[in-house]
Amino acid sequence: MGVTVLQQYPVPENKTGTYVIELLTKRLLALGATQQGQFLVDCESYLSHPQMGTTKTVHILHNSEQPASVFSILESGTKNIHVIADGLFDLLMMKLSQHYTSKKQTKIESKGPRFELGDFCVKIGSVTMNQSFKGVLVEVEYRPCVMANAVWGLLREFLQGLLGPTINIQPPQHLVSRMNEIYTPIDTIYQYLEHFSAYRKVTGLRSS
Amino acid sequence: MNQTINVDQLNSALTSLRTLRSSVSHVFETLSNGLRADHGEDGKDKFLSELQELLNNVNINVRDLEQTVNSLPIPTAPFNLGNTTFLSQDTTQDRQALYTQLVNSYKWTDKIHEYSSFAYTLLNQNSLKRSNINSATKRRGKMQSNHNVAPLQVDNVINNIGRSYNDMKITISRPFASNAVVQINLSHVLKAVVAFKGLLMEWVMVKGYGETLDLWTESRHNVFRKVTENAHAAMLHFYSPMIPELAVRSFMTWLHSYVNLFSDPCKRCGCHLHHTSMLPPAWRDFRSLEPFHDECKQ
């Protein structure tokens, strides 16, 4: 597991999401990347029942890179608590449907091709919520290194080269506090949740 | 000198023993043959006188032997045969004949030694020298094998090097008899395993932080395969059989410079990634330890 950076790629006016994905795919293939299947990251959020006191939100996420795991993040005010469990956790959530109700209309996912280029793994995902297109997320993983602090300059250089000079690249909010720690899969999940939450708040929808 | 006299005396003693044996066997031979035709009429008397003469011979020989044996010096201590004594304890039959072969080969090497020293003095008188025979003899005094060093000394050298780095952890194990296999954890960047033969480095394998370490399988990441390749080059570059400690120390210093493998850009092109190989600067200069891409190092 290497350090991963998730970056939003803005879809230009009067262009579609498919156009952007094709453009980035073309750039990657020109660099010498090979496509290695598809990937999918999805997120479903549950609200606790009002009878249980203050309402809390639980986000359940799956990542095709870790297919046997279910990631859950509980938002409780200032602090987020995460639990990594195996596939049975989904069934457990169904049992708990009396206490936690799913917000079906906010189920959101990022899905698209997965590329390998040397030691990099690049995923270009189109984000959809309820079948409506929301934007493009580019995930870049540098697999040999486990410390975000050491590898940030290198990842930034790679992203800048891939996405073009117009995109402003900053370290992800979640990583800033964890620069000197060993990177784990949950750090990727937090980054996806950050972006998904931002997309949910945006009301302006554009068809793909 | 004392030894040569001993050998002469021993030889004469052995000869007299042989004569005694032959004369005794002669007596028994005559006895077993009994009366013969050439003894004639009064064969009995003739036979007895012949026997008498032979026995007299035996007597003389016994006296001779006694004399020579008495003049032999008594060995002060039991003979020390070194490790060859164990040869006799070998249970397999055909191995017991090895002792003679051993002695023969010893004689051979002894002769070779003698001849070569003659040849050396002869060649030395010749002023037309085309080989560096002289420099070789000068160095011979200091020559020592660094393949066969006590494990404790190896441990000391490596641990001393390990103590001078805070972010490089060195652990020694000996999975293959007495030769050390050293595992190096360099911060959170890389892991390396170095196989030693005595104090000489024989093999290096570099892998990523999360990978399992063993001597033979390569890393799954391109960058560490490249670093392994470069580490082999460095190992050969620093190789010095005369001062092995310096070689190990220089190599460790060089390896330690990989602590910034991902964070420092190439000194020549100023970029992290090379545009064709997509690798970070995986080469470190031997002297300055500055990071370079493989393609930029010239």
Kindly report, residue by residue over A160-181, the tens digit of the pLDDT. 989 888 888 888 888 888 888 8
* Domain residue ranges of chain B, discontinuous segments joined by +: 1-72, 151-259
Determine the Cα–Cα distance for residues A143 and B276; give it in Å rounded to an integer. 18
> What's the average model confidence in pLDDT over B146-175?
86
Kindly report, residue by residue over A41-86, the tens digit of the pLDDT. 999 998 888 887 788 889 999 999 999 999 999 987 778 889 999 9
CB contact under 8 A, A118 and B278: yes
> What's the average model confidence in pLDDT over A15-21?
89
CB contact under 8 A, A157 and B272: yes
CB contact under 8 A, B209 and A145: yes
CB contact under 8 A, B278 and A153: no
* In contact, A202 and A133? CB cutoff 8 Å: no
User: A24-38, B1-15, B176-190, B265-279: lowest mean pLDDT where?
Assistant: B1-15
* Domain residue ranges of chain A, discontinuous segments joined by +: 3-40+107-203, 41-102
Q: Least CB-CB distance to A119: which of B223, B263, B271? A: B223
Whether B141 has a pLDDT exceeding 60, the answer reads no
Predicted confidence at residue B66, as pLDDT, reads 92
Contact residues on chain A for B208, CB-CB shorter than 8 A: 143-146
CB contact under 8 A, A151 and B263: yes
* In contact, B161 and B248? CB cutoff 8 Å: yes
**Residue B167 contacts A, CB cutoff 8 Å:** no
> Would you tell me how many other CB atoms lie within 10 Å of the CB of residue B87?
14
- Find the residue in A nearest to B224 (Cα): A144
CB contact under 8 A, B262 and A150: yes
CB contact under 8 A, A146 and B209: yes
CB contact under 8 A, A153 and B189: no
In this structure, is the dihedral angle defined by the CA atoms of residues A27, A33, A35 and A39, taken in order, positive or negative? Answer: negative
B145 band by pLDDT with thresholds 50, 70 and 90? low
Whether B112 has a pLDDT exceeding 90, the answer reads yes
Mutation target among A29, A119, A146, A184 for the B interface, most CBs of B within 10 A:
A119
Predicted confidence at residue B131, as pLDDT, reads 54
> What's the average model confidence in pLDDT over A9-35?
90
Predicted confidence at residue B146, as pLDDT, reads 64
- Find the residue in B nearest to A162 (Cα): B275
Determine the Cα–Cα distance for residues B282 and B254; give it in Å rounded to an integer. 12
In sequence order, the 6+-apart residues with CB closer than 8 A to the CB of A37 are A113, A114
Q: What tokens were used for A129?
A: 């919520």
CB contact under 8 A, A119 and B279: yes
Whether A191 has a pLDDT exceeding 80, the answer reads yes
Q: What tokens were used for A178?
A: 């964890």
CB contact under 8 A, A146 and B278: no
Predicted confidence at residue B136, as pLDDT, reads 47
A141 CA: distance to closest CA in chain B (Å): 13
User: B99-108, B139-148, B270-279: lowest mean pLDDT where?
Assistant: B139-148
Write down the CATH number for the domain with range B151-259.
Answer: 3.10.110
Contact residues on chain B for A118, CB-CB shorter than 8 A: 222, 277-279
More confident: B130 or B233: B233
Q: What is the mean pLDDT of chain A?
A: 88
**Residue A143 contacts B, CB cutoff 8 Å:** yes
**Residue B271 contacts A, CB cutoff 8 Å:** yes
Q: Least CB-CB distance to B221: which of A144, A151, A161? A: A144
A203 band by pLDDT with thresholds 50, 70 and 90? low
Q: What tokens were used for B273?
A: 């990634």
Would you call A75 helix, strand, or coil by DSSP?
A: strand
The position carrying tokens 């402003």 is A168
CB contact under 8 A, B273 and A153: no
Predicted confidence at residue A50, as pLDDT, reads 81
Predicted confidence at residue B56, as pLDDT, reads 94
Whether B214 has a pLDDT exceeding 70, the answer reads yes
> What's the average model confidence in pLDDT over B103-126?
88
Predicted confidence at residue B130, as pLDDT, reads 56
Predicted confidence at residue B129, as pLDDT, reads 58
* In contact, A145 and A157? CB cutoff 8 Å: no
Contact residues on chain A for B221, CB-CB shorter than 8 A: 119, 143-144
Predicted confidence at residue B5, as pLDDT, reads 57
Whether B194 has a pLDDT exceeding 90, the answer reads yes
Contact residues on chain A for B278, CB-CB shorter than 8 A: 31-32, 117-120
A54 CA: distance to closest CA in chain B (Å): 41
Contact residues on chain A for B262, CB-CB shorter than 8 A: 142, 144-145, 147, 150-151, 154
* In contact, A53 and A64? CB cutoff 8 Å: no
> What's the average model confidence in pLDDT over B167-187?
88
Predicted confidence at residue A158, as pLDDT, reads 92
Write down the CATH number for the domain with range A3-40+107-203.
Answer: 3.30.310.180
**Residue B186 contacts A, CB cutoff 8 Å:** no
Predicted confidence at residue B142, as pLDDT, reads 47
Mutation target among A122, A151, A154 for the B interface, most CBs of B within 10 A:
A154
Predicted confidence at residue B89, as pLDDT, reads 72
B139 band by pLDDT with thresholds 50, 70 and 90? very low
Predicted confidence at residue B228, as pLDDT, reads 94
Pairs of residues, one from chain A and one from chain B, whose beta carbons lie less than 8 Å apart: 59
Kindly report, residue by residue over B18-32, the tens digit of the pLDDT. 999 999 999 999 888
B280 CA: distance to closest CA in chain A (Å): 8
**Residue B279 contacts A, CB cutoff 8 Å:** yes
10 Å CB burial of residue A92 (0-12, 13-18, 19+) is exposed
Q: Least CB-CB distance to B278: which of A117, A145, A147? A: A117
Kindly report, residue by residue over B61-81, the tens digit of the pLDDT. 999 999 988 888 777 777 677
Predicted confidence at residue B212, as pLDDT, reads 87
Determine the Cα–Cα distance for residues A42 and A118; give it in Å rounded to an integer. 27
> What's the average model confidence in pLDDT over A141-147?
91
Q: What is the mean pLDDT of chain B?
A: 84
A204 band by pLDDT with thresholds 50, 70 and 90? low
Whether B231 has a pLDDT exceeding 90, the answer reads yes
| Neighbouring C-alpha atoms within 13 Å toward the C-beta of B128 | 0
CB contact under 8 A, A146 and B210: yes
User: B146-150, B180-184, B285-289: lowest mean pLDDT where?
Assistant: B146-150
Determine the Cα–Cα distance for residues A166 and A172; give it in Å rounded to an integer. 18
